[in-house]
Structure 1
């Protein structure tokens, strides 16, 4: 019986030691504001994320740390269309639907992603804009595609041009060997909802710890009232909008009527 138990005990001890090694460092993170309010004059904002690397005695001398922060906004289905010029007119000739992809996506690191980890680690941990899953509907199937896919390139380019997708190297600053910070830019047209923040700690190209936090963007005032009315009372909101449009048209005709 002892001979049979020995391999099991040895395996358990190895797993326990590996678990302890994996917990040699831990992350403590927080953002400067967990609830951002959007008003009619909102023109964008920058959140600040602060973090600390907690080390034990075994990792006291390690200093070659890398940080990658990934911020993902509310997910939604989106469509990218390809246009061609035919008979002097630009027309849609093809399209691709992206399924439940982040409406906002920001990747912030302390140095270039390719210098932080090998390509296989980047893909496995979804580090960097090229390695984030952006599944598409291709016929009856939904699947992620390679970073060189033309529709994916066009989709990312369009989102990037609006400031909604971004990858910034040298955006994470180490204030001390174990304290770091980064800014999270939020453009004026930032979507409303909950934003997930994923923080990965790497050393020597290997993931050694990770943490997560979140913040929320909400509308307040009249904009919040309109949004709630549209969501909770769609029929009445539609009727009210139609009546307002008719009243506006009638008032304009009265004001600019030529006698």
Structure 2
């Protein structure tokens, strides 16, 4: 009886369940068609809790959307004999094809460096590069170059203070996906943080894939490359003949 009483006292002394995320997505599938020009994903949710709202330190929300991982070779050009050529290369083991980060507060108020390293939240932490050649001392510059290029392409983005957080309970944000995204599984994560420390994580998925004519052409190019090549030549020849016929008709008219 004494042991049972001690266990009951211990359970009663435990804190209430931590705050948790209840997440929703405006869509869980994105279809890539021939006229696809990008898509916006609305991510919204609420904080489920069994304790009173704690205002100090305030709750913060970080949302990330990560595209399929892929190896990437990054080259550095050098000028030799008056010509720019590829000189050095670093193999990046794993980099997201798309990565977006949205926060409810400035980055330095949202998460600490230790927690970022642990959960791989920021763009540099999401990229894995461990196989740089020993003779390249500044291998981090290659990762920075990859990030810079993909930021220019709209594939990597950080949008601070773009998550609307109301009463430390309801939140929402919108993530824009450009037209040049890759097919595959896109991992969506929501982090709740206090004083920069992660207190809850929720994960969901968005499936991105080609449909219709785009899917048929893609499948044909992979499974029957010869037929795809012949079809491309036929379409090109037909387009050339049509343009020539239209030009002759205009001239004769």
In the superposition, the TM-score normalised over structure 2's length comes to 0.81
**Length, aligned pairs only:** 236
Gaps of 5+ in 2: 248-253
Aligned to 1:237: 228
Matched, 1:224 2:218: no
**Alpha-carbon separation, structure 2, partners of 1:25 and 1:250:** 64
Provide the rounded CA distance (Å) in 1 between the counterparts of 2:124 and 2:106.
13
Question: Aligned match of 1:61 in 41, 53, 65?
Answer: 53
In structure 2, distance between residues paired with 1:104 and 1:121: 22
Q: Distance in 2 between matches of 1:66 and 1:131?
A: 20
Gaps of 5+ in 1: none
Quick one: distance in 2 between partners of 1:165 and 1:72? 9
1:76 counterpart residue number:
70
Deviations 1:174-230 (A, max 9, x none): 133200001111111111221100111011222111101111122222111101212
Residues 243 and 115 (structure 1 numbering): CA distance in 2 closer, same or farther, change over 3 Å? same
1:207 paired residue number: 198
- In structure 1, distance between residues paired with 2:171 and 2:187: 19
For 2:93 and 2:112, locate their aligned partners in 1 and report how far apart those are by CA, in whole Å.
Answer: 28
Distance 2:46 2:113 in 1: 27
Whole-Å separation in 2 of the counterparts to 1:128 and 1:138: 21
In the alignment, structure 1 residue 88 sits paired with structure 2 residue 88: no
Q: Aligned ranges for residues 1-259 of structure 1 at < 5 Å?
A: 17=14, 23-57=17-51, 60-63=52-55, 64-139=58-133, 149-241=140-232, 247=237, 251=241
Using the TM superposition, give the Cα deviation of residue 87 of structure 1 relative to its aligned residue in structure 2, in angstroms.
2.7
Change (3 A) 1:54 1:250: closer
Using the size of structure 1 for normalisation, the TM-score is 0.79
CA distance in 2, matches of 1:32, 1:93: 46
